[in-house]
Amino acid sequence: MSFAARSGGRAAYPLLGASVVALVLVLVPGIGVVRGGARRWLHLGPLSLQPSEAAKVALVLYLARSLSKKGERVHHFTVGVVPHCLVVGFVAGLLVLEPDFGTTALAGALLGLMLFAGGVRVRHLAVPLVAALPPVVYEAMRAGYPLKRLLAFLNPWQDPRGMGFQLMQSFIAFGSGRLWGVGIGESRQKMFFLPEAHTDFIFSVIGEELGLAGALVVLGLFGVIAARGLRTALRHPDPFASLLAFGVTVSLVLQALVNAGVVLGCLPTKGLTLPFLSYGGSAMIAALAQVGVLLALVREAG
């Protein structure tokens, strides 16, 4: 087993445990910090941490470690599906309580794709998918705002000063950028017209300042990460390292695609940042840690 694989394997369960503890602490009144109606942050002195970012990394490590250890036994439903769905479902439940539906959706997608890559039978994957639908629909109806986000996605012009405002401002940013953009630092929409311009909607500012050409370059760079990561997953001789490379690649690239899809109006608003580019220390550390692991695996695979 390679050095990167050994290190990641040893860190999988401790990091998962620490992430769960942090996610529980976030929900404790007086400990978790509320911003924008969501309880997602912990203050440790001068530092502000977002445990959900560590949870994404922990889930990738856990799934890669657990699936690789089980080997051919993953073909059995009670071995390949049930324990992993219980663990990820518990973490997802904590995320929903914050609430953080974007990271919850990403965790669900990671679970399904990594189970598939790990050798779980396709028909077995349908069971947790069907089982998850009722609680997801119930929580969306109970919380209210996910449904409002969906309606705003379908027709943002119906509520131009409310739920549709952010998406309309994103459209204006991309339209202003045209092909080559208005120039770096010259964005008008980021001057308090576009909400969350420095975090969830940073891709809109990129489209405005660098135009369609710059936006395509950014997406192309994530395409390079996808190509190299999947190539490494296919070529690495160690099962854990192979699954780890696949999981890290999916985590980074899928989050980037969802973020781009949201700001372009192709997907409902999820609250996911754009890796490496959105403002946020916890998100940046998590993304850099993942790409560091991926680079080590790329070097080992040759």
Per-residue pLDDT reduced to its tens digit, 86-141:
999 999 999 998 888 889 999 999 999 999 999 999 999 988 888 888 877 776 67
Report pLDDT for 40: 87
Q: 101-117 and 122-143 are packed helices; what angle lies between their axes, rounded to 10 degrees? A: 180
Q: Which domain holds residue 145?
A: 3-301
The overall average pLDDT reported for the chain is: 90
- Spatial distance between the Cα atoms of 170 and 267, rounded to a whole number of angstroms: 13
Spatial separation of the C-alpha atoms in residues 139 and 90, rounded to whole Å? 15
Render pLDDT for 48-67 as a digit per residue (tens, 0 to 9): 899 999 999 999 999 999 99
pTM for the whole structure: 0.92
In angstroms, rounded to a whole number, what is the distance separating the alpha carbons of residues 74 and 81? 7
The backbone torsions φ and ψ at residue 122, rounded to the nearest 5 degrees and listed phi first, read -60, -40
pLDDT band at 25 (very low <50, low <70, confident <90, very high): very high
- Phi and psi dihedrals of 269, rounded to 5? -60, 130
Provide the pLDDT for residue 151: 76
Q: What confidence category does residue 150 fall into, taking pLDDT thresholds of 50, 70 and 90?
A: confident
Given a contact cutoff of 8 angstroms between Cβ atoms, the answer to whether 131 and 256 are in contact is no
**Is a pLDDT exceeding 60 seen at residue 1?**
no
Instruction: Tell me how far apart the alpha carbons of residues 228 and 93 are, in angstroms, rounded to a whole number.
Output: 33
Number of domains in the chain: 1
Among 156, 140, 262, smallest CA distance to 200 is for: 262
Q: What pLDDT, on the 0 to 100 scale, is given for residue 183?
A: 94
For the stretch 274-299, pLDDT in tens is 999 999 889 999 999 999 999 999 99
Which are the contacts of 204, defined by CB distance < 8 A and separation ≥ 6? 169, 170, 173, 174, 189, 194, 197, 263
